[in-house]
Amino acid sequence: MPELPEVETVRRGLEPALVGAHIDRVVLNRKDLRFPFPERFVARLEGQEVIALGRRAKYLLADLAGGEVLAMHLGMTGRFTIIKPVCAGPDGGLTEPGGFYYTAATRGAHDHVCFELSTGHRIVYNDARRFGFMVLLARSELDSHPLFRGLGVEPLGNELDGALLARLFAGKAAPLKAALLDQRLVAGLGNIYVSEALHRAGLSPQRAAGTLAGRTGKPTRGADRLAGAIRDVLAEAVAAGGSTLRDYRQTDGALGYFQHRFRVYDREGEPCPTPACRGVIARSVQSGRSTFHCAVCQR
């Protein structure tokens, strides 16, 4: 479920295990994800120390001591799991505090990559649909790399406000839904949070994006509301993800799960949650993707 908040949640979950550790061994269970793994992928990673774990839009960025960056995109179904070290139990046998081993026998069907760290931790990447991918690139070429060059503004950074949105959307006939999904404008929103942000802002997903730029190019109140709604919904989701992170060892240990309540997403037919609004959440399809909105309070 990786939009920006989920990726940030995964980043925060992985950071303590990954940063400062060396990658002793990398096991690939297949030769590609969405794309083939980079040339000499394993050799370039093994022996490297991870010195930082960052995020840009929906990409995780692991900085390596040698100057390369491991950039990882989770696609639709990518997940990371931390497997804690196995240690000797009271009965003399091997037990594991989190309650599970990671062996060939327990390996999940779509566990494609396993990073074995110097701390004894293993970090497993699982991706059923394989829309995710990993690339290795020099830190110095990050900003000019085709994957990152065109990315738009980071929505939780300081730049995003109504004025910037108005500038980005000026002259665009595309519906707000499509404009917000465009990673070249605002980077990190996905199908869920676009619906959520538009509902909070009281803006119809069908409305032309350019109408938020006013006639003089000045931001409208709608643009200000939308910028605020984007920041609020993402920040709340990140906070919700973080609040459940302490439990990451239970069940299958997958990072990035959280119980965030969506106000409109997947709530077709339910009453609109806006106070005093008598509307009902409708589902529609825009450029092949589900949109959820209330026609009464979103204009």
Partner DNA sequence: ACTGGATCCTGCCTGC
Partner DNA sequence: TGCAGGCAGGATCCAG
Binding site for DNA (CB under 7 A): 1-3, 6, 34, 57-58, 73, 75-76, 109-110, 128-131, 147, 171-175, 178, 181, 183, 190-192, 286-290
Alpha carbons within 13 angstroms on the beta-carbon side of residue 51 total 9
Alpha helices (H) in the chain, listed in sequence order: 4-18, 41-45, 146-149, 162-169, 176-181, 191-201, 221-244
Is 218 a known active-site residue? no
Q: Helix (H, G, I), strand (E, B), or coil: what is residue 45?
A: helix
| Nearest residue to 284 via CA among 204, 229, 168, 173 | 204
- Extract the annotated binding site for DNA: 110, 129, 172
Strand residue runs (E) in 9-141: 23-28, 50-56, 59-64, 68-73, 78-83, 87-88, 94-95, 111-117, 122-127, 133-138
Least distance between DNA and beta carbon 180 (Å):
11
Options 11, 56, 58, 267, the catalytic residue: 58
Yes or no: say if 123 and 16 are a contact pair by the CB < 8 Å rule.
no
Least distance between DNA and beta carbon 38 (Å):
16
Least distance between DNA and beta carbon 27 (Å):
19
d(CA 78, CA 69): 19
Q: What is the DSSP letter of 185?
A: T
| Phi, psi dihedral angles at 197 (to 5 degrees) | -65, -40
d(CA 280, CA 45): 52
Residues recorded for the chain: 299
Round the CA-based radius of gyration of the chain to a whole number and report it: 21
Is 289 a known active-site residue? yes
Is 3 a known active-site residue? yes
Instruction: Considering the complex, state which of residue 29 and residue 290 has its C-beta at the smaller distance from DNA.
Output: 290
Is 149 a known active-site residue? no
Instruction: Considering the complex, state which of residue 92 and residue 146 has its C-beta at the smaller distance from DNA.
Output: 146
| Nearest residue to 249 via CA among 123, 9, 81, 11 | 81
d(CA 222, CA 37): 43
Least distance between DNA and beta carbon 47 (Å):
30
Least distance between DNA and beta carbon 43 (Å):
26
Instruction: Considering the complex, state which of residue 95 and residue 290 has its C-beta at the smaller distance from DNA.
Output: 290
* Residue type, position 112, single letter: H
Least distance between DNA and beta carbon 90 (Å):
35
Yes or no: say if 152 and 97 are a contact pair by the CB < 8 Å rule.
no
Query: Annotated active-site positions, please?
Result: 2-3, 58, 289
